[in-house]
Structure 1
Amino acid sequence: MPCPCGSGLRRQRCCSLDLATLSPPDATAPVKPLLEQAEAALADNDAARAEQALLAALELAPGREDALFALHRLLRQQGKLGAAETLLRRMVAINPNNFIPTNELTLMLLARGALAEAEIHARNAVRIAPRSAQAHNLMGLVMTEANRPLIGEYHYREVLRLLERDDAVTLANLAWNLKTQGRIAEARTLYVKSVKLNPGVLQTTLGWARTEEADRKFDRALKLIDGAEALAPNNPGVSLTRATILARKGETEAALAKLDALGQGGTLGPAELSEKGRLLDRLGRYDEAFAAFDAGKKRAIELGARRYLDDAAADLANRLRAFFTERRLTTLPRAAIRTDMPQPIFIVGFPRSGTTLIEQTLSVHPRIAAGDELPTINDSTQLIPRLFASPLVYPDALAELWMGDQREGLDLLRDHYLARVRQAGILRDGATWFTDKMPLNETHLGLIHLMFPQAPIIHLLRHPFDVVLSVYSNHLTHGFFCAAELETAAKHYALTAGLIAHYRENIPALRYRAVRYEDVVDHQEHEIRGLLDFIGEEFDPACLQFEKNQRYARTASYAQVTEKLYDRSRYRYRNYRGHLEPIVPILAPIIERLGYTIE
């Protein structure tokens, strides 16, 4: 029976294979004629004959790396990305020091947003080949996408050092990295240099155009898109970028027409469909907008996007509830407070709940630096078992804190977090605070309290229907890929809400303040004064003009927070009420508990 992964191999020779039973490489020489047949078939563009020869070879020698890699490439060409990734994983498991499959697997994981796993393999690539420019470039890509741009910058500059020359692609990658750090002028200089070296690279021109769009230089961005269109007429990425720029200029009809024209030439991709939905929403064509969002999600799954990992999410939530109880927390130590450097303000909330708005508002204050989406708390959950020398996983590994030689474990964990913040380059002169607004950090409120017992925790609330609808209109990977479907986004929202209620009940000392997005819109000054008072800072009137904050927000909301406060997103769900019927049973109890209503 063929393996369910889609590789074409029998299950016993694929996902059920016991790697311990593999023959040594020198015992697999008899399959060489089959590999030669596959190579000849590929040269003749006969994919079916090549696949048949490769499957036969792997039936006899399932651990043969060259056969696995050739079949992987064939499956990728056929669009069978899940099966192709499975084969790469097997190759890496068989030979962890094989650079090529490690590189390929990292790129595949990066493409589908599995950043945590991509980082594991990117790091291994550098370990395998520390003097390889390709390995450092890979690490730069992953670190930039994982919101650790300063680390990514280091690796890109290491690429240039190893190459001992300027390289157009690396300069463009470094420019994008600097753009994510808000260093727009430096990024622009590198784009100019990259294009001068090689003017025919589409991605370079697109990246430059997106940088100008982020800097609100829309006309300059459109000129660059004209050049990109000359390089690649009717390219989906070019059309999407043009539509995005036109939309930011307020030319919604023109932006929509661009995407419609692209759709007439073929099937729109997930990103294009989601952007089309957002444009239709602006025009008040809500049923069409929801249909576009829905089509975008379905298309993403067709292309290999991950579905919600509901079992993993439920398992983590259950273990967190079981560990973080009031009785146990009374016996656990807390990290000491450090006074020699700025301290964190945790802005938590489900994605699309308004966390970027609050961070952009607070970071105008001269004593509050913007940290953006720091992955460090989640990283700490992976570090704990190793740091505490525990055979258990998080959160149960925190039980080691009862041991005499681990009583200072939380101080070590706190220092690791603060060192990562310093490395990220987000601290500024005069700041006594920095923000950490990683989505769904609220999952780990218990750990945050142990590490930073006096840290202000600001929890953004917004009507749950508005939140889930907004999540559904974007392609996000946070929360165990819950955004793949409307119902799973609602399920994860409910799971997270239940976990927060548990923490609040069991940690009375939690320095927690909830703020409603709708109240910020209606009573901006009152709410911001209240937040600054909660933090312990004086009110600064500049915080009421967050749209003048020149920093680039590395989030899907980067464009919205450059506009003055508006109310068009408040209770947006009313326009989609009929489409939200499937999630009413999931969210209705939470909506009532939070004091909202369903209209």
Structure 2
Amino acid sequence: MIKKADSATGSGQILSIKDAFTKAKTLAESGQLAQAEKICNDIINANKKFHPAYHMLGRMAARVNKNKIAIDMLNKAISLDSSNAQYHCDFAEVLCNNANPKGGLIAIEHALKINPNVSHFHYIAGTALAALGNSKKAITAYNKAIELNPNNGLAYNNLGSIMENSGLQERAKHAYANAVKINANHPEAQNNLAAILLAEGDVENAKIHFEAAIKARPLFVEPHYNLSTIKNYEEDDAHITQLEAIARNSAALPADKRVKLCFALGKAYEDIGNYDAAFDLFEKGNTAHRRTFKFNEKRAIGITEQLKTIFNKEYFKGSRKKKSDDPTPIFVVGMPRSGSTLIEQILCSHDNVFGAGELDTMSKVINEKLDIFPNDYEKLSDDDIKEIGENYIRRIRLLEPDAKRIVDKMPANFHYAGIIAKALPGAHIINTERNPMDSCLSNYGRLFNQTMHFAYNLEELGRYYNRYQDLIKHWHSVLPKNRLIDVHYEKVVDDLENQAKRIIKFVGLEWDDKCLEFHKNKRTVHTASVAQVRKPIYKSSVERWKNFGDHLKPLKDIVAPE
């Protein structure tokens, strides 16, 4: 029996353990966790083997991120009643949420042995398997969860995430759409569906779903950030007010969410002409993100010098392009945010060109021969280098077997121009150029999904730009003729037709008028320029940097000294 004080009368009330537990459960469900916790502890003091109380304490601790307590309490509940499948499931969920998917998988397997017919158990199994990188088994688990409960929107959303990461965009979109259909207030599913629609070029419907995600969870920073990248803000935009309200109370947000908020609100302020406030936010966001990783700039400088030494004029002496050389690969390289997505979109609007996006294929086939490129490159035989080229061609051909040309738009491939010219003598390399200040500012004002360590400090960004320019000049001086051309973003903006014809001619194709209507191309685009390439040519990004004046002086002193 539990003696409980009546808060209204101060009198003592005697409850059975069963009634006390029912009371605790009611309190927990209404969010009165402290009161529920007190009753559970009273129950345990009265009966240390009453495992439901440990279980409830574990679940309540998990709700407020007291993870060690949650693990301890759930473990205790299981030790007292190992036949309870729900205990094992909740234990698995806590472990998965605390970066222990291996332990989570073991725990959920216990639950499934006890009862294999619970949809949520299979959902948790899928979560653990996905975290462990076993996508195939995770898909099976999520599908089983859906089979047992067709309204399991969580399973649909996570299934969509695996499909998307596997490049199965249509199947991912279908899964996200099902999750949203089941529950329109599922913020993650709304955000994920919006991202797929945006990549496909359906900007307006993407906005609708980003806004639905925000409505479902106003403090969910991800859709706020995503929406900011595709909006053109005006001063009375209600979304700016929302962002400002979140920013005023952002201390409780995780650090990475505060960074995204800085970039989102900075973008909004720039759009309405409040450039000082915009730059202040960009600087805060970049500085905070820069603290999260180490960047070995000395190593980066050394690589540039190594490349110039290895790939010299003597190395390419006698290298001549033959008719039999495969012309399939087109490499679009340069600084990120230099117009490379625009060039790719122009190219792949041609009937004979497939745009593969930013591939890591070249780095992978090189690293299969060398642990760290360019170390020990000289030890590679001619056959090794030939094999690198063959492996690259074979892998990109899997993406679109019938295309005459395939575009790889990984900007950093400019580091590999020497080996590309040797291993793929039929390949074409297009270097996208842009005003250095605009190019660097466009990097500084954007948070990238990829790891680009050079982009979050103005001085480091400027020095990276200079190393890039130094290497491009070197490639022009040593590569065989007609392997590399520069395409200037500003010239494309001023004279689209002639620049587009120059590009198409360089890659050895007949002209196609559709290249001038690149914005109508519905191909999937996953880069930061996804919204921009859905529009005709515009000039508003030219000399954008001038709006920020002296804020960019540290950058200007490096890349464009007077």
Q: Same fold (TM over 0.5)?
A: yes
Q: Which residue pairs with 2:222 in the alignment?
A: 237
After superposition, give the CA deviation of every residue in 1:463-502 in whole Å (9 maximum; x if it has no partner). 1011110000012376850012111111111112112222
Q: Which residue pairs with 2:308 in the alignment?
A: 321
| Of 281, 292, 295, the match for 1:305 | 292
Identify if the C-alpha distance between structure 1 residues 133 and 495 changes in structure 2 by more than 3 Å, giving closer, same or farther. Answer: same
Instruction: Spell out the pairing of 1:567-582 with structure 2 (5 A cutoff).
Output: 567-582=539-554
Structure-2 separation of matches of 1:337 and 1:588? 43
Q: Which residue pairs with 1:260 in the alignment?
A: 244
| Of 362, 376, 381, the match for 2:366 | 381
Pair 1:190 & 2:175 matched: yes
Identify if the C-alpha distance between structure 1 residues 233 and 517 changes in structure 2 by more than 3 Å, giving closer, same or farther. Answer: closer
Pair 1:350 & 2:326 matched: no
**Matching residue's letter, 1:159:** A
Identify if the C-alpha distance between structure 1 residues 277 and 537 changes in structure 2 by more than 3 Å, giving closer, same or farther. Answer: same
**Matching residue's letter, 1:262:** I
Q: Which residue pairs with 2:273 in the alignment?
A: 284
Is the Cα–Cα contact under 8 Å of residues 244 and 255 in structure 1 kept in the other structure? no
Helix, strand or coil at the partner of 1:460: strand
Structure-2 separation of matches of 1:568 and 1:314? 34
Q: Which residue pairs with 1:546 in the alignment?
A: 518
User: More displaced, 314-323 or 500-509?
Assistant: 500-509
Structure 2: segments with no counterpart, 5+ residues: 1-57, 70-93, 106-124, 147-152, 252-256
Per-residue deviation, 1:439: 1.5
Helix, strand or coil at the partner of 2:539: coil
Identify if the C-alpha distance between structure 1 residues 496 and 203 changes in structure 2 by more than 3 Å, giving closer, same or farther. Answer: same
Identify if the C-alpha distance between structure 1 residues 521 and 369 changes in structure 2 by more than 3 Å, giving closer, same or farther. Answer: same
**Matching residue's letter, 1:289:** A
Per-residue deviation, 1:345: 0.6
**Matching residue's letter, 1:344:** P
Pair 1:448 & 2:445 matched: no
Helix, strand or coil at the partner of 2:431: strand
Identify if the C-alpha distance between structure 1 residues 216 and 542 changes in structure 2 by more than 3 Å, giving closer, same or farther. Answer: closer
Structure 1: segments with no counterpart, 5+ residues: 1-39, 51-72, 78-87, 92-97, 103-131, 141-154, 387-392, 590-597
User: More displaced, 560-569 or 216-225?
Assistant: 216-225
Task: Please provide the CA RMSD for this pair.
Answer: 4.0
Q: Which residue pairs with 1:397 in the alignment?
A: 376
Helix, strand or coil at the partner of 1:326: coil
Structure-2 separation of matches of 1:205 and 1:264? 25
Pair 1:418 & 2:403 matched: no
Structure-2 separation of matches of 1:474 and 1:231? 26
Instruction: Spell out the pairing of 1:100-249 with structure 2 (5 A cutoff).
Output: 137-138=130-131, 156-161=135-140, 165-166=144-145, 168-169=153-154, 171-176=156-161, 185-195=170-180, 201-215=186-200, 217=202, 220-221=205-206, 224-225=209-210, 227-229=212-214, 231-244=216-229, 247=231
User: More displaced, 173-182 or 224-233?
Assistant: 173-182
TM-score by length of 2: 0.70
Helix, strand or coil at the partner of 1:568: coil
Percent of aligned pairs sharing the same letter: 27
Per-residue deviation, 1:428: 5.5
Is the Cα–Cα contact under 8 Å of residues 213 and 223 in structure 2 kept in the other structure? yes
Pair 1:476 & 2:448 matched: yes
Per-residue deviation, 1:550: 0.2
**Matching residue's letter, 1:524:** L
Per-residue deviation, 1:156: 3.8
TM-score by length of 1: 0.66
Structure-1 separation of matches of 2:433 and 2:472? 12
After superposition, give the CA deviation of every residue in 1:414-460 in whole Å (9 maximum; x if it has no partner). 1221232234x2x164x200101101211111111111112111111
Is the Cα–Cα contact under 8 Å of residues 376 and 417 in structure 1 kept in the other structure? yes
Instruction: Spell out the pairing of 1:417-436 with structure 2 (5 A cutoff).
Output: 417-423=392-398, 425=399, 427=400, 429=402, 431-436=403-408
Pair 1:270 & 2:259 matched: yes
Identify if the C-alpha distance between structure 1 residues 348 and 218 changes in structure 2 by more than 3 Å, giving closer, same or farther. Answer: closer
**Matching residue's letter, 2:238:** A
Is the Cα–Cα contact under 8 Å of residues 384 and 394 in structure 1 kept in the other structure? no
Identify if the C-alpha distance between structure 1 residues 294 and 557 changes in structure 2 by more than 3 Å, giving closer, same or farther. Answer: same
Identify if the C-alpha distance between structure 1 residues 326 and 280 changes in structure 2 by more than 3 Å, giving closer, same or farther. Answer: same
Structure-2 separation of matches of 1:275 and 1:320? 38
User: More displaced, 520-529 or 169-178?
Assistant: 169-178
Identify if the C-alpha distance between structure 1 residues 159 and 445 changes in structure 2 by more than 3 Å, giving closer, same or farther. Answer: same
Is the Cα–Cα contact under 8 Å of residues 156 and 174 in structure 1 kept in the other structure? no
Q: Which residue pairs with 1:6 in the alignment?
A: none
Identify if the C-alpha distance between structure 1 residues 578 and 271 changes in structure 2 by more than 3 Å, giving closer, same or farther. Answer: same
Q: Which residue pairs with 2:483 in the alignment?
A: 511
Helix, strand or coil at the partner of 1:327: coil
Structure-2 separation of matches of 1:517 and 1:366? 23
Identify if the C-alpha distance between structure 1 residues 385 and 231 changes in structure 2 by more than 3 Å, giving closer, same or farther. Answer: same
Structure-2 separation of matches of 1:135 and 1:447? 40
Identify if the C-alpha distance between structure 1 residues 519 and 314 changes in structure 2 by more than 3 Å, giving closer, same or farther. Answer: same
Identify if the C-alpha distance between structure 1 residues 259 and 497 changes in structure 2 by more than 3 Å, giving closer, same or farther. Answer: same
User: More displaced, 175-184 or 252-261?
Assistant: 175-184
**Matching residue's letter, 2:397:** R
Identify if the C-alpha distance between structure 1 residues 307 and 417 changes in structure 2 by more than 3 Å, giving closer, same or farther. Answer: same
Structure-1 separation of matches of 2:504 and 2:170? 32
Structure-2 separation of matches of 1:222 and 1:584? 36
Helix, strand or coil at the partner of 2:369: helix
Number of matched pairs: 450
Is the Cα–Cα contact under 8 Å of residues 159 and 170 in structure 1 kept in the other structure? no
Per-residue deviation, 1:281: 2.0
Per-residue deviation, 1:165: 1.2
Structure-1 separation of matches of 2:432 and 2:128? 39
Structure-2 separation of matches of 1:442 and 1:277? 30
**Matching residue's letter, 2:173:** R
Instruction: Spell out the pairing of 1:20-35 with structure 2 (5 A cutoff).
Output: none
Is the Cα–Cα contact under 8 Å of residues 310 and 480 in structure 1 kept in the other structure? no
Is the Cα–Cα contact under 8 Å of residues 307 and 484 in structure 1 kept in the other structure? no
Is the Cα–Cα contact under 8 Å of residues 224 and 264 in structure 2 kept in the other structure? no
Q: Which residue pairs with 1:123 in the alignment?
A: none
Structure-2 separation of matches of 1:186 and 1:252? 38
Identify if the C-alpha distance between structure 1 residues 270 and 576 changes in structure 2 by more than 3 Å, giving closer, same or farther. Answer: same
Per-residue deviation, 1:394: 2.6
Helix, strand or coil at the partner of 1:556: coil
Per-residue deviation, 1:317: 1.5
Instruction: Spell out the pairing of 1:6-45 with structure 2 (5 A cutoff).
Output: none
